[in-house]
Structure 1
Amino acid sequence: MKKVLIITYYWPPAGGPGVQRWLKFVKYLPDFDIQPIVYVPENPTYPIIDNGLVNEVSDKAIILQHKIIEPYGMASIFSKKNTKGISSGIIPNQKKQTFLQKAMLWIRGNLFIPDARVLWVKPSVKFLKKYIQEYNIDTIITSGPPHSLHLIGLQLKNDLKLNWLADFRDPWTTIGYHSALKLSSYADKKHKALESKVLNTADTIIVTSKTTKAEFERLTTKPIEVITNGYDVEKVSVGQLDEKFTLAHIGSFLSDRNPKILWEALSELIHENDQFSQQFTLKLIGKVSQEILDTIESFGLKPHLNNLGYVSHAEAIQHQRKSQVLLLVEIDSEETKSIIPGKVFEYMVSERPIVAIGPQDSDFAELIVSTNTGSFFTYSEKERLKATLLSHFEKFVAKELKVYPVGLQQYSRKNLTQKLANFLK
């Protein structure tokens, strides 16, 4: 059995989307004659905890742990709320940022390059070099963000001449929050230099979307493979569908993902249609920025809001499968066209219609339309969005609200792991 060392930051009991990709790859790699050895921090500062995921770790995986020094842990002494929000990606609107928030973002962007886990690089290289040599490992994988983990791979590649696969769950310098970090000219150049060095040193680059592949192809001639996120066969008991017409958003709802056309369309439907007003509920599951909540209230939607906060992954799957309609929102910008949220794949197998809002030519728009799992709207298509919501509601009333997906099997976690295994042998 071939041994492969996987270096990742997010690992159970971490919750949220970052942990799912490699948790599932590790689950299925032994089926393809590959022994996963997973290297993770011993004492991480995870913004979200989901202890239920610990039970999903494969008993065939070897888990290595090493201590990490995290500035987020120290920063929480001054402001636990701000630290937790920033570390989980919830960055306040620039116009509403307090002095402390501005200072924390500047420190994060300019003193910790590429990110706040950079202090783990040197001790990890020292620890892993010894382990790799002792156990004759010839292939390593690094997964980012945090992109500092790619610097571990970079150093190990240079020192030991290993086969190195760099997995990018998200882009590096073009990701949406990068510009919010108040980078100096020096810091910006250093980020780009490190990105270029990683992309041109790794043997293979793995990305999650075709747009990220095209972006990276302008920066390197190294082979780039697309392996999307996917869905797993979840053993979750689900009862009947919600009795009310529930529109559910599951996952972090960041300030920049504020679809005012949706709030306006819903507000109009509530005022124009008494039956809709009586039956409609907006379910928010996960971390939600205060700006989103304030906007929802400003459109008169608070009486219809059910804000459940963060729940376990198993409970999130239950809500996906019993909600009447699922909401997916991405930031309206050029940089987010490449983002395919991991939850979209779980949405697609929930057998509930998806209403997705994002920038024109988004990769996930093509995914939803091609699998016949929902409808996609740009931020300028309020009337079409409103008409679709009304159509879904009328089908809900008639008990005919269903979807008929096609071509989903290619996105199963096991099939995606087989694709990964082909690069590792």
Structure 2
Amino acid sequence: MRLLLIAYDFPPVPSPQSLRWAYLARELALAGHEVHVLAPDIDGYGGGGLPVLPDTLMIHRVWPGPLTGYLTLRHRKRRSAMRTVDAGADVASMPSAVTVQLNWKGKLRRRIEDGLSARLGHGLNWKGHAMEAIKRVMSLPLFPDSRAEWQPWAKRRLRELLDQYQPDVVISSHEPAMTIELGALARKNGYPWVADLGDPVLAPYTPRRWRKRALATERMLCARADLVTVTSDHAREVLRNRHKIGEERCAILTQGFDHREVVARDTSVSFDDGKLELLYTGSFYSFRRIGALLEAVLAVSSVRLSVATIIAPPELIAAARRHPDRIRLLGFIPHSQAVALQRRCDVLVNLANENPVQVPGKFFEYLGSGTPILHIGGAENDFAARLLRHSGGGWCEPDDPALLQSRLASLAEGKARDGKVPSVAGTDFDVMQYSWKNLSQRLVELISSRMPATAEVAANPLTNDARTI
């Protein structure tokens, strides 16, 4: 089967949606399907550690638009200059050279920049904050935000790819929402369209000015897409209630974990055998709070919490400064390193979202790690809580300091007594159903059953049809 994926977030960007389609595209390509990806030509951030993509996967990069294109070009020039300096410099003289060559103006500017960075937070200097401000201004007229500047160039390249490769199926990866409009364009030109949604287009975090348009876009995709995939039953229920989309066209394709990954022991972060070591890897939002857990951790002396995140909330930063031996901030770490740490700690922490429609992708990474999970908060019918109870892979606790303290004290006592965290009651749960390999196979089955015209090529991925490239 020949697939064309439209994805704004794709490696080297390390976002959750990028990881989702990096893994799915990799597994589809390894299974023999022909996979093309339309993505913007942008740089990633962080330390890499993303899935290695097979050479057979073909990525078509497109200029991302004026502002992002300018920032990308500047970043690449700066990176190239640093490589040139590194290649020609005397390593022994580098530290002193960096300091000595600053004159009084340079030193003054650095002090001002450092002061602004400390005051503004988020680790950005004044230039970074200026660019963030420009992006916010650009987002005012662009739907859903400044990333929509990519759309005109993506639309032109999409038409070329459709004519050149004539894919059996076009898949749009949301977010951002303008990929949905590109998928609708492919559908208008006669190509089967799968709309993959992380969250519904109209979500609690949608800016007020875009809610009407987000709902209209969501209604359009439910009417026109041949298949809509969502990550939870709650998300599917939202689309059913809003747009009356039938179950035959709206299917659940959850997030997953990489069963192929062979992770070497990562020694850059150590864990103490004498403590109960908790680990949280992921982002923080207003609907994902950590206050109750911090209070519980600090109340049990033999517990330490490590957090790997790109931007830590103020209360977490303050707690780490006051109690560096109990709360440890690891900063942003590469995806592969995060997976390694997940398999070495005692207990993984999952903070439930207030909205049950949203299920963090890292929860499925946690499941695949084999490490017990402490799921905190959420409603009784929260998808992650139900799945955790069914799997027997951990414990669900309310967002209550006293109850969390009791649970942590019990786990710490068990580790001190037995040398390991008490095991969770075992079940016959098959975690492999959430591996990316199995999820990619499910996607192919969904496409084949919902789109009969693709069934024959889906069943024989290694044999192309009569068309030639």
Matched, 1:329 2:329: no
Residue from 195, 214, 224 that aligns with 1:166:
195
Residue from 235, 244, 247 that aligns with 2:278:
247
Matches within 5 A, 1:175-324: 175=204, 177-178=205-206, 181=207, 183-184=208-209, 187-220=210-243, 221=245, 223-233=249-259, 234-238=261-265, 242-243=272-273, 244-270=275-301, 276=302, 280-294=303-317, 296=319, 301-324=323-346
Change (3 A) 1:249 1:29: same
- How many residues were matched structurally? 390
Matched, 1:353 2:376: no
Residue from 160, 170, 190 that aligns with 1:130:
160
Find the aligned partners of 1:241 and 1:117 in 2 and give their Cα distance.
Answer: 40
Paired residue for 1:375? 395
Cα RMSD for the two superposed structures: 3.2
Structure 2 contact 4–35 (Cα < 8 Å) conserved? yes
Cα deviation code 1:60-118 (max 9, x no counterpart) = 2111111111656779999999999699xxxxxxxxxxx99997796465322122221
Find the aligned partners of 2:389 and 2:66 in 1 and give their Cα distance.
Answer: 41
Residue type of the partner of 1:63?
A: I
Cα deviation code 1:167-201 (max 9, x no counterpart) = 012222124x32xx4x33xx321222222222221
The Cα of 1:353 is off from its aligned counterpart by: 1.6
Structure 1 unaligned segments of length 5 or more: list them: 88-98, 271-275
Residue type of the partner of 1:265?
A: A
Residue type of the partner of 2:153?
A: P
Matched, 1:21 2:17: no
Change (3 A) 1:154 1:285: same
Find the aligned partners of 1:147 and 1:85 in 2 and give their Cα distance.
Answer: 26
Paired residue for 1:412? 435
- Which secondary structure state, in structure 1, belongs to the residue aligned with residue 49 of structure 2? helix
Moved over 4 A (4+): 70-87, 99-106, 239-242
Matched, 1:58 2:77: no
Change (3 A) 1:189 1:61: same
Radius of gyration: which is bigger? 2
Structure 2 unaligned segments of length 5 or more: list them: 75-112, 448-454, 456-469
Matches within 5 A, 1:58-97: 58-69=54-65, 71=67
Structure 1 contact 141–164 (Cα < 8 Å) conserved? yes
Paired residue for 1:110? 140
Residue type of the partner of 1:3?
A: R
Change (3 A) 1:189 1:103: farther
Change (3 A) 1:131 1:297: closer
Paired residue for 1:90? none
Structure 2 contact 65–153 (Cα < 8 Å) conserved? no
- Which secondary structure state, in structure 1, belongs to the residue aligned with residue 262 of structure 2? coil
Change (3 A) 1:301 1:81: closer
- Which secondary structure state, in structure 1, belongs to the residue aligned with residue 20 of structure 2? helix
- Which secondary structure state, in structure 2, belongs to the residue aligned with residue 322 of structure 1? coil
Cα deviation code 1:284-342 (max 9, x no counterpart) = 112133424245359x54442221111111211121111111111133x3xx2122211
Change (3 A) 1:106 1:13: closer
Change (3 A) 1:378 1:173: farther
| Identity across matched positions, percent | 24
Find the aligned partners of 2:11 and 2:284 in 1 and give their Cα distance.
Answer: 22
Cα deviation code 1:340-383 (max 9, x no counterpart) = 2111112112222211123212111111111111112232x433
Structure 1 contact 157–164 (Cα < 8 Å) conserved? yes
Cα deviation code 1:109-128 (max 9, x no counterpart) = 53221222212222212211
Paired residue for 1:3? 2
Please, what TM-score do these two structures have when normalized by structure 1?
A: 0.82
Structure 1 contact 242–322 (Cα < 8 Å) conserved? no
Paired residue for 2:460? none
